[in-house]
Amino acid sequence: MRLIKIPENKYYEYRIQAMFDCYKWDPQFCDKNTLSKYVLILTKTENKELISLTEKLDKETRLAEEYLNKNIKIAKKLELPKKILKQIPNMQSYNKNKNIRLMRYDFHPSTDSTWVVTEVNSDCPGGFAESSLLPNIARNTINMPELEYKSFGEQMVEVINKKLNKKWTIMMVHCTCFSDDRQVMQYMGDRLKMEGYNIIYGAADHIKFKNKNAYCILDNNQVRIDLIFRFTPLEWLIQMKPRRWDGYFNTTTISCNHPISIYAQSKRFPFVWKDLEKAGISMEEWKRLLPETLEVKDLSLKNGFIYKPVYGRVGEKISIKEACKDEEYEKILQDVKKHPKQYILQKKFQSKPLKSEDGKEYHICIGSYTIEGEHAGYYARMSPYPRIDSYAEDIPVLIEK
């Protein structure tokens, strides 16, 4: 694995291209440019290893979630939001062959030369365009046409084409007030539109369910929906008022993702592994790759462990002291004290930084996608400190032949 720097004199144009050709509409976060000045190169062996690990993890995850869906007593240990827990009986009609299952596993290189997986983005992983288009722009910019990459978007299109008629309607469900959500949906929507699908952009509450089928209610777009492509996280969806989100849980409309995604999205997922193994579901890969995870039982922070929120996103509220800004660390500890059940303890691993050609060190997180159990490309981020959060930079991934 190595970093190649984008030449200084080409970076401005590269950034513009990322914005206009690659749906990178959020290249700045506060004072931080979030589009890396580097390209990440994986060796063929590293790529092969990551693909293998990703697919093994995915197999375990999918078997686990199907089992949990049928065994509510065990699923209760995940401390799912009450509103979701109540929906489990409605999810019994879930058909894995009908829906499209998309996940992204976060891999980190560690100092003992192994990979560590810190979580799976099971519900609504993003970064589609960064995975699908940015590597090509980067490859041209550094003039290394021999490097390869797997496009997430192309694989998604392939899977959708197998399940849908190209004349059908796909609704890209997202939080319409956030342009950074829209950029994810817009890339996928534009790409699917090229295939011939009717694409509708809307919010979660722009769908009404009738006889378990989804219908769009937006003016002049009142049609039956054939695929719900959801980028609104379930924890947000269930806050929606007026309440009409129940339909998402038992709809017969094809969904990507179906709410079954909530089981592995919970960081308490490891707490049910013993039960899963008793039922004959191996969690070997997960056990090997995920740092030890404990419940927050007392409030004395265990030495060598960090707090992570059960439903955290983009590195928020993770108590890695050296990565926290201002009073953030103290505030997280206060929050843990108030809401211990909303956090888990995870053993802190030693992230191995990667040195750039110009001597700078960066910590890397490689998000490895799966669609229907198959590896579907990478979305990577890097940070000067060992936490990948909103200040982290997006870095395209290319692979040696």
Partner 1 sequence: MDGRELYKIYAPAVAKWIDWVHPVPFVAIDTYNRKPIVDWIDRKAIFLKEYQQDAAIFIDLPGKESIELGIDLAHNGYRPIPIFNGTDEQQGSQATTDTYLIESCLINGGEKLKNIKLENDANPAFLLDSYRTNRYRAKESIFDNSWDLYKQDIPSAEYFKQNGITRIIVVGSALQPDLKKIFLKFQERGMDIYITDGYLSPKKIILAKTIKERLEKEEI
Q: Cα–Cα distance between 36 and 28 in angstroms, integer?
A: 11
- Identity of the residue, 22 or 124, whose beta carbon is nearer to partner 1 in the bound complex: 22
- Identity of the residue, 242 or 359, whose beta carbon is nearer to partner 1 in the bound complex: 242
Q: Residue 35 CB, nearest distance to partner 1 (Å)?
A: 10
Q: Residue 399 CB, nearest distance to partner 1 (Å)?
A: 28
In 3D space, the residue among 132, 136, 197, 209 whose CA is nearest the CA of residue 171 turns out to be: 197
Q: Which two tokens stand for residue 310?
A: 């059960």
Q: Cα–Cα distance between 266 and 51 in angstroms, integer?
A: 23
Q: Residue 132 CB, nearest distance to partner 1 (Å)?
A: 17
- Residues of this chain that interact with partner 1 (CB under 8 A) are 12, 16, 19-20, 24-25, 27-31, 33, 176-179, 182, 186, 200-203, 205-206, 217-222, 242, 316-317, 328, 331-332, 335, 390
Query: Looking up tokens 């769908």, which residue turns up?
Result: 207
Q: Give me the sign of the Cα torsion angle 18, 22, 25, 27.
A: negative
Q: Cα–Cα distance between 318 and 258 in angstroms, integer?
A: 27
Q: How far is CA 93 from the centre of its chain?
A: 25
Q: Cα–Cα distance between 386 and 389 in angstroms, integer?
A: 9
Q: Residues with Cβ < 8 Å from 344, sequence gap 6 or more?
A: 267, 268, 293, 294, 295, 296, 307, 308, 310
Q: Residue 310 CB, nearest distance to partner 1 (Å)?
A: 15
Q: Cα–Cα distance between 113 and 268 in angstroms, integer?
A: 26
Given a contact cutoff of 8 angstroms between Cβ atoms, the answer to whether 152 and 376 are in contact is yes
Tell me if residue 177 falls in helix, strand or coil. coil
- Identity of the residue, 283 or 332, whose beta carbon is nearer to partner 1 in the bound complex: 332
- Read off the DSSP letter of residue 110: B
Q: Residue 357 CB, nearest distance to partner 1 (Å)?
A: 23
Q: Residues with Cβ < 8 Å from 116, sequence gap 6 or more?
A: 107, 108, 109, 110, 289, 290, 291, 349, 351
Q: Residue 294 CB, nearest distance to partner 1 (Å)?
A: 21
- Identity of the residue, 217 or 294, whose beta carbon is nearer to partner 1 in the bound complex: 217
Q: Residue 34 CB, nearest distance to partner 1 (Å)?
A: 10
Q: Residue 138 CB, nearest distance to partner 1 (Å)?
A: 18
Tell me if residue 266 falls in helix, strand or coil. coil
